[in-house]
Structure 1
Amino acid sequence: MVVKHTSGSLTMTTANRADLQQRCSAVIVGIGACGSCTRWVVKDAIELERSGTPTVSLYTQAFAILAVTVAKSEGMADLLNVLLPHPLNSLADDEVRSAARASIDRVTQALLAGPVPA
């Protein structure tokens, strides 16, 4: 498992994306819990998918319309995603862990669904 922490207000660097592509057979990009970070989560997931790396983007329900709009505008309407409860930032740590556990099966199913049509 590889964990990369990047800024939620910027896209992933080319070097970070290349490193993930080289070291990972699939990537989970998240978490979009605000407008700008949701946009970057989706943009990063699109770039990874286009390069052939199966990717799932995670964002909260409040930003689902934004995420879908960004994906459609980039020609990736079928981009795989898992919606999380909103808000996450105000939840206690145990509640965030519970939300993560509840989404594991959905993330796994999305990754196993196959490549996203370009």
Structure 2
Amino acid sequence: MIIVIGNNKGGVGKTTPATNLAVAFAIRMNKVVLVDADPRGSCALLGLSTAAKQHTTLVPAVQRRGNLVDTLKVLSRQNQVVIVDVPGRNSPDLISAMSVADVVISPHACSQLDLETL
């Protein structure tokens, strides 16, 4: 299963659910990989190391950019769950990941601009 956490706006809280979902699936004995597609690299890799240590669960994380279709298909064959944290803009990463996703989760902040984006 491929789960994409994405939005075409930054700063809405994509990394937190991506990281938490990856750890939650791993705790339930799923083979999970977290893909950090954000070029800022902020995210998943930093948040995951703390969360994984806290729960003594190992969740591999990889950084990938650009067209993610082939990468996600391969990772999906190798893992039960693939969580993808994409950048907060309309990008090839977001569009390609959504095209192969089983589930797309789009967090939104509570503001007029976010409501218009939704």
Give TM-score, length-normalised by structure 2.
0.45
Of Structure 1 and Structure 2, the greater helix share is in 1
Higher relative contact order (CA 8 A, sep 6+): 2
